[in-house]
């Protein structure tokens, strides 16, 4: 057995580690999305699309987030396999569920939340949550799946790919929210994707599912 194979085996995730990692990543990311929504902010990816539609229609973010991700499940199944797809479906469903739980569980006057703090802090939490999910073989669906596939097939870093797409979505949100909100949201999108770009690199993390 080579030294490299020993290193890989030593870093292989157990089932319990994967479950705990996914639950932790989902909780952190969903709480970040909760801060974004309560700040009246927007984001990128399918979460950003769900937030925009929620603001425009008044429909539930949790339901919209689940529906927007459905087409991307087929892409995940085609390119990433059954295991990754099932974990992604589970994480998307859990984020939707947490979106209903957080407002009920937090008995605070969240409407006094500073929008700059909520936007930047929320995006930071989403980035950390995504990083944990990536490292345990899951994602929040949508653009995350596309970014991971491009990183593996073309070599483009997932964080940078998602940053470009996210900024485009945030700019499109000018049709729904004010320019000030878009400006702060764009800064938040950069924060989120810098977390991924600076930490999610091939070869840096040796954990395996």
pLDDT digits (tens, 9 = 90+) for 8-61: 444 577 878 888 988 999 999 999 999 998 888 888 788 888 988 898 888 999
DSSP 8-state code for residue 14: P
- For the chain, domain boundaries: 11-199
Give the residue, 202 or 119, on which the prediction is more confident: 119
What percent of the chain stands above pLDDT 90? 21
Which of 7, 31, 39 is closest to 182 using CA atoms? 39
pLDDT the model gives residue 155: 81
Three-class DSSP category at 208: strand
DSSP 8-state code for residue 108: S
Cα atoms found within 13 Å of the Cα of residue 124, Cβ hemisphere only: 6
Structural Rg of the chain based on CA atoms = 17
Give the integer Cα–Cα distance in Å for 208 and 15: 11
Whole-prediction pTM value?
0.79
The two tokens of residue 93 are: 């469903």
Q: How many residues does the chain have?
A: 209
Cα atoms found within 13 Å of the Cα of residue 96, Cβ hemisphere only: 20
């Amino acid at each position: 057995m080579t030294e490299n194979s020993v290193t890989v085996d030593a870093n292989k995730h157990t089932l319990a580690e994967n479950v705990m990692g996914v639950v932790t990543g989902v909780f952190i990311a969903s709480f970040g999305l909760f801060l974004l929504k309560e700040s009246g902010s927007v984001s990128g990816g399918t979460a950003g699309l769900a937030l925009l539609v929620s603001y425009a229609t008044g429909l539930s973010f949790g339901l919209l987030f689940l529906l927007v991700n459905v087409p991307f499940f087929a892409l995940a199944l085609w390119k990433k396999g059954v295991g990754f797809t099932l974990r992604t479906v589970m994480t998307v469903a859990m984020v939707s569920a947490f979106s209903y739980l957080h407002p009920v569980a937090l008995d605070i006057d969240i409407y006094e939340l500073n929008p700059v703090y909520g936007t930047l802090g929320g995006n930071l939490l989403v980035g950390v949550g995504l990083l944990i999910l990536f490292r345990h073989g899951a994602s929040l669906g949508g653009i995350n799946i596309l970014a991971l596939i491009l990183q593996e097939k073309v070599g483009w870093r997932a964080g940078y790919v998602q940053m470009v797409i996210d900024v485009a979505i945030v700019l499109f949100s000018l049709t729904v929210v004010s320019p000030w909100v878009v400006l702060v949201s764009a800064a938040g999108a950069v924060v989120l994707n810098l977390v991924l770009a600076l930490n999610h690199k091939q070869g840096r993390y040796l954990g395996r599912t």
